[in-house]
Amino acid sequence: MTAKQQERIEQMLRLNKLSVTETRTKMLEMFLQSKSALEHASFEKLNGKAFDRVTIYRTLQTFLDKGIVHKIPTTDTSVRYALCKSDCKEHEHHDHHIHFQCDNCGSTTCLDGTDVPPIQLPNGFAAKNVEVVVSGVCKECK
Amino acid sequence: MTAKQQERIEQMLRLNKLSVTETRTKMLEMFLQSKSALEHASFEKLNGKAFDRVTIYRTLQTFLDKGIVHKIPTTDTSVRYALCKSDCKEHEHHDHHIHFQCDNCGSTTCLDGTDVPPIQLPNGFAAKNVEVVVSGVCKECK
DNA sequence: GTAACTGCAAAATATTTGCATCCTT
DNA sequence: AAGGATGCAAATATTTTGCAGTTAC
């Protein structure tokens, strides 16, 4: 990890009033380095020293609470997480981007440059958040 | 259950080469009567005789395999199911409608009349299916 | 030093599998 | 009668909780 990245991670944690620990730093490092969304299992099967199962659950929950990561909806039971953009605040997410799930390699990617089109809802429904999950074949697998 | 509904359910099952059993009939009846999507737990907490846990798992999987129901993506771990339109075939779903998840009552609804807008993907990605999940406050809770 | 974080053990939940029995065709 | 469907028991897998020891500030 570069000094710059280390700095960035520490800042993310401090901004959210979280102490800088080894587990949190390494998990955030994984998020920053990964092109696709991560799931609980991603953190368990590390080469070398793995994280404790329980700590992973708790750390992911903390990151969610603070708005550092967001969950990505899936049709399988797996829950996937990805880093939020910098303008997400606690309990106030602004992730208006599209998620892409590859049927071939199973990876989930946030397509940051792609906007979610406006959705027309029936009368009586008030939209607060829109999630778009496109599935198909990703760039790498094509 | 009306005779007409009974007839409809039997037809759904026969069309998919499934034998008409009490569990399947009652579960389909629940799907037909429910305005919102159902989850595993919905079938467990029935007044009166409940279904066996394992049978529910197996029946939902069978319905999925045959294209009778589809899964709805969620950000919590819960998996929800809703009836497919009649033109869904085995392993070939055509559910291009929007799902609405209420933050207040937790219900998930299929908005059948609402179309999914075309999504522009980055180069290299090939879309096969698009899922849109809007969350907010539903008609009933407003 | 204190509060927050982690790791182990164990409890609570959720899901899957095997097999004997029962029901639909 | 035969194959499929169900229900029970038990094996797995997943998630949560409690608590004692450790680390960050």
What's the N-to-C CA distance of chain B in angstroms?
30
Q: Which residue among B75, B111, B114 places its CB closest to the CB of A71?
A: B75
Q: For chain B, list the domains and their CATH numbers.
A: 3-136 (1.10.10.10)
pTM for the full predicted model = 0.87
Secondary structure E strands in chain A: 38-39, 69-72, 80-83, 97-102, 108-115, 126-137
pLDDT tens readout for residues A65-77? 999 999 988 877 7
Q: Which pLDDT value is given to residue B95?
A: 55
Residue in A83, A111, A76 with CA at minimum distance from that of residue A96: A111
Quick check: helix, strand or coil at residue B70?
strand
- Per-residue flag: A47 CB under 7 A of strand C: no
pLDDT tens readout for residues B88-125? 554 455 557 788 988 888 888 888 778 788 888 898 99
Q: Which pLDDT value is given to residue B50?
A: 79
- Per-residue flag: B33 CB under 7 A of strand D: no
CA of B38 to C1' of D18 (A): 34
Quick check: B125 and A118 CB within 8 A? no
Q: Which pLDDT value is given to residue A76?
A: 77
> B95, B123 in Cβ contact below 8 A?
no
Quick check: A122 and B114 CB within 8 A? yes
Q: How many angstroms separate the CA atoms of A133 and A76, rounded? A: 13
Which residues, in sequence order, are CB contacts of A34 under 8 Å at separation 6+?
A42
- Per-residue flag: B88 CB under 7 A of strand C: no
Which residues, in sequence order, are CB contacts of A17 under 8 Å at separation 6+?
none
Residue nearest to nucleotide D25 (CA to C1'): A19
pLDDT tens readout for residues B123-137? 899 998 888 888 889
Q: How many angstroms separate the CA atoms of A103 and A136, rounded? A: 5
